[in-house]
């Protein structure tokens, strides 16, 4: 190594304690992400780590070597500790960049004004970048590996908790409180339960994971703190009932993100607010019932304000009501075209012209379909009483068509 570079390193090493102190001061002052640690000894800890970092760098430079395996291992171990402390990865990367900035400035300040000294300082600065890239990469890899495993464990533990809350008797809930708190469920906070589904294109097979991430990111909390559970057929999220991250705002932001990044659509039902573990099951059941009323036009449905009584009565009627639909009526209304015509005519207050406009059809086409329904069912949709019976039957048939049982029979219970 050139004598100019050795001289700069000697002067740099003599100031190592001062440089480590500056790195710690800048890190604590500039990086908000270290706040979760909430430790009065944080400054001293960072200063000690910075001093070790400088010693390891100086050793590597003097020996023209890459960071030692021991240094890389220590960096990975520190990353795991910070991940457990819920320090964001961005905060760690920020702290490494601060160290690079302070070190580069210190090297420059120890260089002379002549070209050879300045050239030596540039060479040493380049070496610091090479060194830090390797150490930072090892740190980031370890952080991501830990978080991915941690999130998988959290998701599994939360899924188990959800099932326990939905099936346990009231007397068993106090025993679940400590577990719930550890998983991010604060019994003193007012929540709602949201049940969401993603309409994933057939070519894509990884829906729930990225969908749950979209909801988690929209809560304004780190992903591991957001209570979002991936299930086989849906997602269950514990969301704020009010405030800047209230449920509807979170779900709307997640819906837009999913639509833009995955060309898929998210629909969700939102239960009523509750406080404490005992209210979870009721809000969940309401969210599931609200979800049945969601569609492309109304992707987010809150219980009970967004659910019309008639719609809920027909949607929740189940198998018993399905058996009351005569076979002839069922055969007619199993045709989606006929059901859509009835729905449009019903929504238009039995006005043929308005129904035709909504369906983009000629009024005569609507009249023909209505006559066919009357002829085949014995119920005339132009008569109010008959129309109420037909529209109720149409919705029961639609529900049983959407929710077939595994054995092939229909289940409209939702």
pLDDT digits (tens, 9 = 90+) for 260-296: 988 889 999 999 999 999 999 999 999 998 998 888 8
Indicate whether 406 pLDDT > 60: no
Pair (221, 294) in one structural domain: yes
Pair (289, 325) in one structural domain: no
Pair (107, 26) in one structural domain: yes
Look at the chain and report how many structural domains it folds into.
3
Q: What is the percentage of the chain residues whose pLDDT exceeds 90?
A: 47
pLDDT per residue over 179-206, tens digit each? 888 788 988 899 999 999 998 765 444 4
Q: Would you give the distance in Å from CA 171 to the centre of its chain? A: 32
pLDDT at position 314 is 67
CATH code of the domain in which 43 resides: 1.10.490.10
Pair (11, 140) in one structural domain: yes
DSSP string of 332-369?
A: HHTSHHHHHHHHHHHHTTT-HHHHHHHHT--HHHHHHH
CATH code of the domain in which 279 resides: 3.30.70.270
pLDDT at position 181 is 85
pLDDT at position 38 is 55
In a domain, 117, yes or no: yes
In a domain, 159, yes or no: no
CATH code of the domain in which 324 resides: 1.10.10.2840
Pair (143, 37) in one structural domain: yes
In a domain, 368, yes or no: yes
pLDDT per residue over 239-263, tens digit each? 999 999 999 999 999 999 999 988 8
Domain boundary, last residue among 307, 323, 348: 307
| Joined tokens for residue 267 | 């629909």
Q: How high does pLDDT run on average in the chain?
A: 85
SS3 239: strand
Pair (257, 135) in one structural domain: no
In a domain, 235, yes or no: yes
Pair (289, 331) in one structural domain: no
Indicate whether 411 pLDDT > 80: no
Domain boundary, last residue among 149, 184, 217: 149
Domain that holds residue 278: 174-307
pTM over 0.85: no
Q: What residues does 246 pair with on adjacent strands?
A: 240
Q: Determine which of 117-126, 132-141, 169-178, 250-259 has the lowest per-residue pLDDT on average.
A: 169-178
In a domain, 166, yes or no: no
pLDDT at position 409 is 35
Pair (186, 65) in one structural domain: no
In a domain, 169, yes or no: no
Domain boundary, last residue among 307, 329, 356: 307
Pair (226, 299) in one structural domain: yes
The residues, any chain, with a CB within 8 Å of residue 252's CB and separated by 6 or more, are 300
pLDDT per residue over 331-366, tens digit each? 999 999 999 999 999 999 999 999 999 999 999 999
Pair (71, 88) in one structural domain: yes
Q: Would you give the distance in Å from CA 312 to the centre of its chain? A: 29
In a domain, 287, yes or no: yes
Q: What is the percentage of the chain residues whose pLDDT exceeds 70?
A: 88
Pair (70, 193) in one structural domain: no
In a domain, 156, yes or no: no
pLDDT at position 227 is 92
Pair (278, 337) in one structural domain: no
Whole-number Å distance between alpha carbons of 290 and 194: 9
């Amino acid at each position: 190594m050139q004598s100019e570079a050795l001289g700069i390193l000697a002067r740099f090493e003599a100031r190592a304690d001062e440089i480590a102190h500056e790195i710690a001061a800048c890190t604590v002052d500039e990086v908000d992400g270290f706040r979760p640690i909430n430790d009065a000894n944080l400054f001293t800890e960072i200063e000690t780590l910075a001093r070790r970092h400088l010693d390891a760098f100086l050793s590597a430079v003097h020996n023209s070597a890459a960071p030692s395996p021991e240094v890389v291992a220590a960096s990975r171990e520190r990353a795991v500790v910070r991940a457990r402390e819920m320090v964001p990865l961005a905060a760690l990367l920020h702290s490494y960049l601060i160290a690079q900035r302070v070190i580069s400035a210190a090297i420059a300040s120890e260089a002379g004004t002549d070209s050879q000294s300045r050239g030596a300082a540039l060479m040493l600065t380049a070496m610091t970048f090479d060194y830090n890239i390797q150490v930072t990469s090892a740190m980031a890899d370890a952080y991501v590996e830990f978080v991915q495993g941690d999130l998988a464990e959290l998701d599994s533990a939360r899924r188990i908790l959800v099932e326990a809350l939905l099936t346990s008797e009231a007397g068993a809930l106090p025993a679940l409180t400590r577990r719930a708190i550890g998983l991010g469920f604060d019994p003193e906070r007012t929540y709602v339960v949201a049940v969401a589904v993603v309409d994933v294109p057939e070519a894509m097979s990884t829906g729930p994971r990225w969908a749950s991430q979209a909801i988690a990111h929209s809560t304004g909390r780190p992903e591991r703190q957001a209570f979002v559970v991936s299930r086989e057929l849906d997602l269950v999220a514990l969301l704020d009932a009010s405030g800047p991250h209230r449920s509807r705002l979170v779900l709307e932001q997640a819906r837009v993100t999913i639509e833009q990044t995955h060309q898929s659509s998210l629909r969700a039902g939102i239960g009523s607010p509750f406080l404490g573990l005992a209210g979870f099951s009721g809000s969940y059941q309401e969210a599931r019932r609200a979800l049945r009323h969601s569609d492309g036009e109304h992707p987010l449905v809150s219980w009970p304000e967004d659910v019309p009584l008639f719609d809920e009565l027909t949607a929740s009627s189940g198998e018993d009501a399905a058996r009351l639909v005569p076979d002839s009526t069922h055969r007619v209304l199993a045709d989606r075209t006929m059901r859509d015509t009835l729905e449009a005519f019903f929504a238009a207050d039995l006005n043929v012209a308005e129904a035709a406009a909504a369906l983009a059809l000629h009024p005569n086409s609507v009249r023909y379909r209505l006559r066919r329904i009357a002829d085949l069912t014995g119920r005339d949709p132009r008569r109010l009483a008959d129309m109420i019976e037909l529209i109720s039957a149409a919705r029961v048939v639609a529900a049983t068509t959407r929710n077939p049982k595994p054995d092939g029979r229909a289940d409209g219970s939702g």
